[in-house]
Amino acid sequence: MNEIVTIARVGHRGDGIADTPAGPLYVPYTLPGEVVSVERRGTRADLAAIEQPSPARISPACRHFGTCGGCLLQHWRGDDYAAWKRDLVAATLAEAGLEVAVDPLVPGRPGMRRRLALTAVRAGRGILLGFSERQAHRIVDIAECPIAMPALVAALPGLKTLAADLLGRKDPLRLVVTATAEGLDIAATGARKIDPRTHGEIVGRLLAGDYGRAARLSVEGEVVIAPRQPMVDVDGVMVALPPGGFLQAVAEAETAMAARVIEGIGGARRILDLFAGIGTFSLRLARSGAVHAVDGDAAAIGALAEARRRAADRHPVATEVRDLFRRPFQGKELERFDAVVFDPPFAGAKLQAEMLAVSKVPTIVAVSCNPATLGRDLAILVAGGYRVTRVTPIDQFLWSPHVEVVATLSRPR
């Protein structure tokens, strides 16, 4: 029997929350103030009908909305959605004990995502290629994706052909596809073993354009064929993208992040860039000072070093391959830097934050795609005497609960 509830707020995972006598009830695809009919399943519920819609409800941009788990908030009007995302960052930092001002959300735009992580599975005699359903392992076979660049959407039929050539009988195939100026960079994992005859067929199909305009195909990290070297533009410097290498998902968001990082370091001339990757920030920071760039990914650091050699208009960029989770910078290593920038993976950089907290580095800029671990790391730095001077959320992950954040800290004299 269905139950009528009123949605009080949207939670940090994007679900509407109704306060009921039995406790909070989580209802996906609902908005604050809505009266809805639901079918309860413990602490969660399936939406049966919207009895009284919110004035902030709008038509979703994608036909797959409601089944595909990639976007959860396409039905929310832009200004209300932006305010929620900004408040989400503020609340998460407050849970870490940080009562700090948070800037308005830097908005994202549809059609700008340059990288998709797709999954392919067999379904009878056909193949499904797309994203997982919300709270399920089933794959939604997508025909469109309004967050993605048009080149990626246009490539979906060709990528399904590629999936048919690489997919095994049981295990799913993962395709990470990046749009570059030279064409698509396709990195496959979970592929079946490719024998020599199949290898030749795949190469021939790629060269014939059966997989779309592909610049490179790698399988399990090994390059199968690369008619062109995929390159990405980082502040006017062309960087060779390693197969399957990390890249910020949206170029506009990367530019916005970099602008806050550069503003945050101020006049620093000796800069340490930790978790530097291919040089997203390093190459920009090198316009004003000498940079020491560090990452555990040797291929990414190699790409950065090679790109810097082609950039005659920058200050020196020294590079170092180092596992920062095991060997964070500490003590005297930090004394020679005026500013430190760190942009760790989702898990954050707890040990590195602890080392920075006892340092005398005047300025730190922290970048994160996970407000929870960012809050933890910032709290460590604040406990060590730093002060958070600015926090800016950036909507790199449009219509999802995820958000990028740039935070600037200074050590009072």
Residues with a known catalytic role: 369
Q: Is 248 annotated in some ligand binding site?
A: yes
Tell me the three-class secondary structure of 137-171, residue by residue.
Answer: CCEEECCCCCCECHHHHHCHHHHHHHHHHHCCCCC
Q: Which two tokens stand for residue 44?
A: 């969660």
Contacts 24+ apart (CB under 8 A), 118-124: 118/159, 118/174, 118/175, 118/176, 118/177, 119/172, 119/173, 119/174, 119/175, 120/160, 120/163, 120/166, 120/167, 120/172, 120/173, 120/174, 120/175, 121/167, 121/172, 121/173, 122/167, 122/169, 122/170
Concatenating the DSSP letter of every residue in 205-259 gives HHHHTTTSSEEEEEETTEEEE-SS--EEEETTEEEEPPTT----SBHHHHHHHHH
CB 89 within 8 A of CB 13: no
SS3 187: strand
| CA atoms of 240 and 160, how far apart (whole Å) | 26
State the DSSP code for 195. Answer: P
Residue 343, annotated ligand binder? Answer: yes
Contact 278, 245 (CB under 8 A): yes
Q: What angle do CA 186, 187, 193 make, to 5 degrees?
A: 115
Q: Is 295 annotated in some ligand binding site?
A: yes
Answer yes or no: is 80 a known binding residue: no
- Residue numbering of the annotated binding site for S-adenosyl-L-methionine: 248, 275, 295, 343
